Amino acid sequence: MKHHDHREMLDTFANLDYVRKERTGIPEVILAEGKTVEQVVLIVESIVAKTGVAMATRVSPEAFAGIRERLKEHVTLRYYESARVVAASRPGLKVPASGGTIAVLAAGTSDLPVAEEARVTAEVMGCKVLAFYDVGVAGIHRLVVPLEEIRKHDAAAVVAVAGMEGALPTVVRSLVAVPVIGVPTSVGYGYGGRGEAALMTMLQSCAPGLTVVNIDNGFGAGATAALIANRLAQTSRPSAARRRAKKSKKML
């Protein structure tokens, strides 16, 4: 299929925001769930062509097989199976490090898919990510080392992912001096076990500085944490104008 045919087909179902990252700090990311493989392929192809990097969430292994078959000759693809995320880029292109650092904590192994979605999102946005998994409050001593590492590496924000009663984000927020983003997961038994109990626990937290995203929204949490970290890293770096002014002052 010729390029202009691709363009015409894409225009029938998508109006892509290629400059979202420049405007908001967070790139446009494709939610693959609910889209056909053909639609995802065309969107990924177009975003990579315009910006160099594209990311798609909620991608099943079957959908990735179709995407890989169509795009493997044109773009570099990486599939994070646990996170169900596809990262695509121009061949040879590397995402520059932003200088921002965040941490992602998961209460249990069952929370890994959501935690991994958060981790991959932040890494695609250029962040360094400290990941600590299976550190829930049922064995609260397991938090000691992660908290030490978070302080040691001066993480700008923490994503805390938990199902069941969802207590981990409140505990973490009471022990760190940075914003914590709580992510309730649809993990648990019976009444409230689809994430509602964890969501309500996090919303009713008595630890100020805890912000909560929707159930299973690892992408939203990872993107927000990365936005905080990247903005902090950007403002911490001396601007070119300040460096020139400092240099001129030394010469006087």
pLDDT in tens, 4-55: 556 667 767 777 878 888 898 888 899 999 999 988 988 988 888 888 899 9
Residue 94 is assigned to a structural domain of this protein: no
Please give the residue range of the domain that contains residue 81: 3-89
- In terms of phi and psi (left: phi > 0; alpha: psi -120 to 50; beta: otherwise), the region of 41 is alpha
- Who's near 233: CB < 8 A, 6+ residues apart? 98, 99, 100, 156
Same domain, residue pair 61 and 113: no
- Tell me how many domains the chain contains: 2
| pLDDT for the residue numbered 19 | 87
Residue 107 is assigned to a structural domain of this protein: yes
Same domain, residue pair 130 and 199: yes
| pLDDT for the residue numbered 216 | 97
| pLDDT for the residue numbered 238 | 66
Same domain, residue pair 200 and 224: yes
Per-residue pLDDT tens for 193-211?
A: 899 999 999 999 999 999 9
Same domain, residue pair 183 and 59: no
pLDDT level of residue 230 (50, 70, 90 thresholds): very high
Same domain, residue pair 114 and 205: yes
Same domain, residue pair 13 and 77: yes
Same domain, residue pair 113 and 183: yes
- In terms of phi and psi (left: phi > 0; alpha: psi -120 to 50; beta: otherwise), the region of 110 is alpha
Per-residue pLDDT tens for 109-164?
A: 999 999 999 999 999 999 999 999 999 999 999 999 999 999 999 999 999 999 99
d(CA 189, CA 252): 71
Residue 128 is assigned to a structural domain of this protein: yes
Does the model's pTM come out above 0.75? yes
Same domain, residue pair 194 and 162: yes
d(CA 227, CA 148): 23
The answer to whether 85 and 117 are in contact (CB under 8 A) is yes
> Alpha helix locations (H) across the chain?
3-11, 20-24, 37-51, 61-71, 112-124, 144-152, 168-173, 196-203, 218-236, 240-251
Instruction: Write the DSSP symbol of residue 29.
Output: -
